[in-house]
Amino acid sequence: MKKKIFFGVIITAIISSVLTISGLCILLRLDSKSLLNLGRFVGAMNFIESHYVQEVEKDKLIDGAINGMVHSLGDPHSIYLEPKLYSQLKADTSGSFGGIGVYMGFKENGVFVLSVIPDSPGEKVGLMAGDSIIAVNSQPVSEIEPSEVALKIRGEVGSDVELLIRREGEEDKTYTIQREIIKVQTVSSKMIDDRLGYIRISNFSENTGAEFKTAVSNLEKQNMKGFILDLRQNPGGVITSCVEIAKEIVPAGTIVSVVQRDGQKEVFTSDLPQAKYPIVVLLDHNSASASELLSGALQDTKAALIVGEKSYGKGSVQTVIPMFQNDGLKLTIAKYYTPSGRSIDGTGIQPDVEVKLEKPIMIPREPDTNSAEDLQLQKAKELLTEQVNSGKILF
């Protein structure tokens, strides 16, 4: 009788364990292969803890494992954020932050400066769009995740950071830059003459939509009949601000579609009856992300002419996922598509009228609209004048 009770308890315990494990597997969506891989992971971690020549911290092993998983994706825009980096990233879209005032882009062959904020520490020492960052504080960028470079450049206000910069046609040079509080006003505007307006958007932050509306309103009061929208060296930013602006200038219909891996789609639309003004958009190869979305929507709906150079080609969506140790995960979760269904990821926006510059130029907050050196801007003025005179967009 005791044996029967004993075996009954054992069998009940086994069944309970199996059901518990099965329930966890269902909850965690683990199939047999995933369960086997989880066993491999735990086994490797236990072996390292027990036999490595020095004592190791379990948290450090977990951090390294997560970082390795993200790195294996081969996506420069996805990154594991340790607590310090996660804290810095959370300040990315705030009104001000400590840094040097540059925006960066990432491709297989390196980390590049996409744009430099006017009057920032980066501009003061002479950094330019197109510069390649080779090292941060003597650490080669090839040794760290690309998206981590921007976060490492930030630090305590008043402290210095050293960047080794490579610029085409020049020798590599080290710049020592003192970090400052970076306050970003993203939109500037002016009248070129008595009919033509000029609006520059340096990047898309939380306040950009409101700044753009104010700029347009001010130019309308000065009898604006059409405007140049300068998105050169614009690295992108907050998509909601981009959509807010698009609703003001993109005719009714789709602005952009965001498509996830499973096909789930979020579509942003405009209700604007028709374009109010002729618009010429300026792009260069440092125009990325949200600036490409806006120009792609204007191009597909024939609401603007695109002038300049093919854009950067960042058409993916990242989200930041908080984790459990004040850390986080920045992960690519979707791709952008223009109204005609184009994916710009890796391809960019091809201008309607291609104009290349003989050499890179720094685009200040309020550029000289009469500068003969800026061939792209002069071509935009010419085309906008034709459109204003004819009363229609010229394709």
Beta carbons within 10 angstroms of residue 14's beta carbon: 10
The CA radius of gyration of the chain, in Å to the nearest whole number, is 26
Q: Tell me the sheet residues that pair with 260.
A: 334
Euclidean distance between CA atoms 352 and 277, whole angstroms: 18
Cα dist from 212 to 203, 215, 216, 229, 247, whole Å: 11, 5, 6, 10, 12
On the 0-12 / 13-18 / 19+ scale of CB atoms within 10 A, 195 is: middle
Cα dist from 274 to 230, 251, 270, whole Å: 21, 5, 10
CA proximity to 97, closest of 240, 234, 203, 188: 203
Q: Tell me the sheet residues that pair with 226.
A: 196
Q: Judge whether 207 and 186 are in contact, CB under 8 Å.
A: yes
Which residues in the chain belong to E strands, given as ranges?
79-81, 96-99, 102-107, 110-116, 132-136, 139-140, 160-166, 173-178, 180-183, 187-191, 196-201, 226-230, 253-260, 265-270, 279-283, 305-308, 316-322, 328-337, 353-354
Question: Which pairing describes strands 79-81 and 196-201: parallel, antiparallel, or unpaired?
Answer: unpaired
Catalytic site residues?
289, 300, 314
Helix 239-249 and helix 290-300: axis angle, to 10°?
A: 20
